[in-house]
Amino acid sequence: MAKSDPKKPQGKMSAYAFFVQTCREEHKKKNPEVPVSFAEFSKKCSERWKTMSAKKKSKFDEMAKADKVHYDQEMTDYGPAKGGKKKEPNVPKRPTSGFFLFCSEFRPKIKSTNPGSSIGDVAKKLGEMWNNLSDSESSLTTIRLQN
């Protein structure tokens, strides 16, 4: 996996993330020696957040909005987004596999016998038919369909 750029700005924080951060700071001030159980701490914070009034939440919403503006500014200063690799347009396509040739041959037949079936059901049926062919039959079918 590629390493991320250390100069890239950190992601913007949500109002809830700011709230959890203040909860953690409060907990550390009250109990500096006590280790925190993450699951228990998260449950308590989420309960407090759910019961908190909109007026108190607005403080954290403002912090999140300010952080978003700051993050957006840092991202514009950081540089434009880099696009993925472009495919070479002149590269020849790979030959169609035997299974795909088989599917293109038998799909209309299965659709006509089962008109109400979904695309997934047709694909499952084609897969079953292909797997039920012996190796010699599947190779002969592939050769016949390629010609």
**What residue spans define the domains of the chain?**
15-78, 98-146
- Residue 49 neighbours by CB under 8 Å, 6+ apart: 16, 19, 57
CA distances from 101 to 60, 105, 122, 129, 143 (A): 59, 6, 15, 13, 10
- Structurally, at CATH architecture level, domain 15-78 sits in Orthogonal Bundle (1.10)
Read off the pLDDT of residues 132-143 as tens digits, 9 standing for 90 and up. Answer: 888 777 777 767
Q: Which CATH architecture has domain 98-146?
A: Orthogonal Bundle (1.10)
Q: Is the pTM of this model over 0.75?
A: no
Same topology between domain 15-78 and domain 98-146:
yes
Query: pLDDT per residue over 9-36, tens digit each?
Result: 788 889 998 898 998 888 888 887 877 7
The residue among 8 and 92 whose pLDDT is bigger is: 92
